[in-house]
Amino acid sequence: MVCRKNFKIIIISIIACLFVMSIIFAPGTYAADRYNMSYVYFGSSIDYYQNVENTKNSLHGISPNYFNLQDDGSLELTQALDTYFVKEMHRQGVKVVPFLSNHWDREKGIKALQNRHELTDQIADAVREYDLDGVNVDIENVTETEREMYTDFVKFLRDKLPEGKTLAVAVAPNPYGIKTGWQASFDYNGLARYSDYLMIMAYDESYPGGPAGPVASYNFVENTIKKALTEVPKEKIVLGIPFYGRYWKNGAAKGGNGLSNTTVEELIRNYNGKVTFDAVSKSPKAVITIGSKDVKPTIFSTKLTEGTYTIWYENEASIKYKLELVNKYDLKGTGSWSLGQETQNTWNYYGMWLNGLYYKDVQNHWAKESIISMAEKGWMTGVSESTFASDYPLSRAEAAVILVRAFGLTEIYGKSVSFKDISNHWAKKEILIAAQNDIVLGTGDGKYSPNQLLTRQEMAVMLDRILNSLKDANYAWNPYKDVSKSKNSWSYNSIMKLTHYSIFTGNPNGTFSPREITTRAQMAVLMDRVSAYINGDGSVLAGK
């Protein structure tokens, strides 16, 4: 009869072995860090701070509504301009690139393009004066008649903006090659020549006054990308992602007004909404009914009346499909409209999916940031495209592979090492390299035991061997009540040293749990901390 404790260990070992066998341990083909910007339009500076905070450090840039146009086409600075906010964004490493808008006013747009010499001077001066990081041109609803002037305007801006400042242009989607109207005002090729990127507004497929339908169906977005790639290099395309929906009242003559994704969720909850996901458009649709006795909600100053409403919007599934397209076509990144309209969980997955990390078990995991970091570095990968297996135990084979990758270890010719139990093992090469570099040892009797699970104290010793150029710690200081020289004679110094360098931090209750099995998530966190001590060539910082 096997005791319950030993039975549990056996089961864990079997599960770990099965997972390890399923892993293709090759560096992932992930983007290092695709560009992620968002527009800021609604609310005040106080809201802006919170909205940026909610993104969990995933934004590279924001485009607030600081630049408007006056009737004569000259620059108007809006009341939203806040120099303290700009400084705080810079402190956080976020670029502030205001968008210049005519807010669909055709006459203002035309005047601005006609006034391009003076206007570009004014924009360049404002960028310098307020320490801004560039400008995002968003002049809409002019036509093919202004096409050449539009490109000329952007060319002048490029010449006048200080060196190093960002110049972006928001352009209409044009998957069908329309040659008249506002879509035709954008010369993709010419605008891309003078700008850092084009922000393609791949949304409003359905619009106010038009029939009910998706804001941005999958085929519409993909066709928009394909058409743009015939004129613009992929590294200059930023795909617009909508954080909003549109609603139509059944039986009304017209509809299509906008509302945030957050508001859509509230309406679904408050009015017993029914949600379906359209397989063709890969878009969600909600139907709500407001009864005569129900509280009538107000959306952007419009009070909804009794009746049934159809809402097309964006949710986690539809946004993920769009983010997958960014990776499929290897685009520069995304730009979202607009920050603060997204649902609360959006930033749990957005940065991961944007960079090709489709791990469903990581989105809300405590070690998410470290797992992402390891995957992007190629030091650790998932057990499948959609699963990282964060909480599964780590094997000795996996540990060897991770350390060889992280430190760039290579075979030492002429140094003979062999283990009789790895001849057909998937990690044979990395195990031998790690052994040649004196990072790992065998378990006795000529074996390595590659599928044996790794304890925390064993991991400490392995890391200590590879971080041997770091100065030794003061071993008299011991913060752990379950570690001692007598009980952990072979691992004590390693545990203390890695604790001194904050690689190990122990448990909140003052224990280290030296014999506890190391999980893949714990390993990701350890290696993320270790990365601070590794040079670009894989060597260890000496004496830090």
What residues are labeled active site? 140
3-state class of 144 per DSSP?
helix
For residue 239, the cross-strand partners are 200, 334
What sign results for the dihedral spanned by CA atoms 229, 231, 235, 239?
negative
Write 409-412 long-range contacts (CB < 8 A, 24+).
409/433, 409/434, 409/437, 409/439, 409/538, 411/436, 412/436, 412/437
Rounded-to-10 torsion of CA 36, 42, 45, 46: -100
Cα 141 vs. chain centroid, distance in angstroms? 32
Rounded-to-10 torsion of CA 510, 513, 518, 523: 30
CA distance 36 to 60: 5
CA distance 441 to 452: 13
How long, in residues, is the chain? 544
Here the tokens at position 265 are 């969720």
Q: Determine how β-strand 302-303 pairs with β-strand 298-299.
A: antiparallel
Instruction: Please answer whether residues 106 and 112 qualify as being in contact, where contact means their C-beta atoms are separated by less than 8 angstroms.
Output: no
H or E stretch including 430? helix 428-436
The type of residue at 146 is E
CA distance 162 to 126: 11
CA distance 95 to 167: 12
Which DSSP string corresponds to 328-341?
A: HTT-SEEEEE-TTS
| Residue found by looking up tokens 């998957």 in the block | 175
Instruction: Please answer whether residues 342 and 262 qualify as being in contact, where contact means their C-beta atoms are separated by less than 8 angstroms.
Output: yes
Contacts of 334 (CB under 8 A, 6+ apart): 34, 35, 36, 37, 238, 239, 240, 241, 322, 323, 326, 354
CA distance 227 to 186: 13
The type of residue at 99 is F
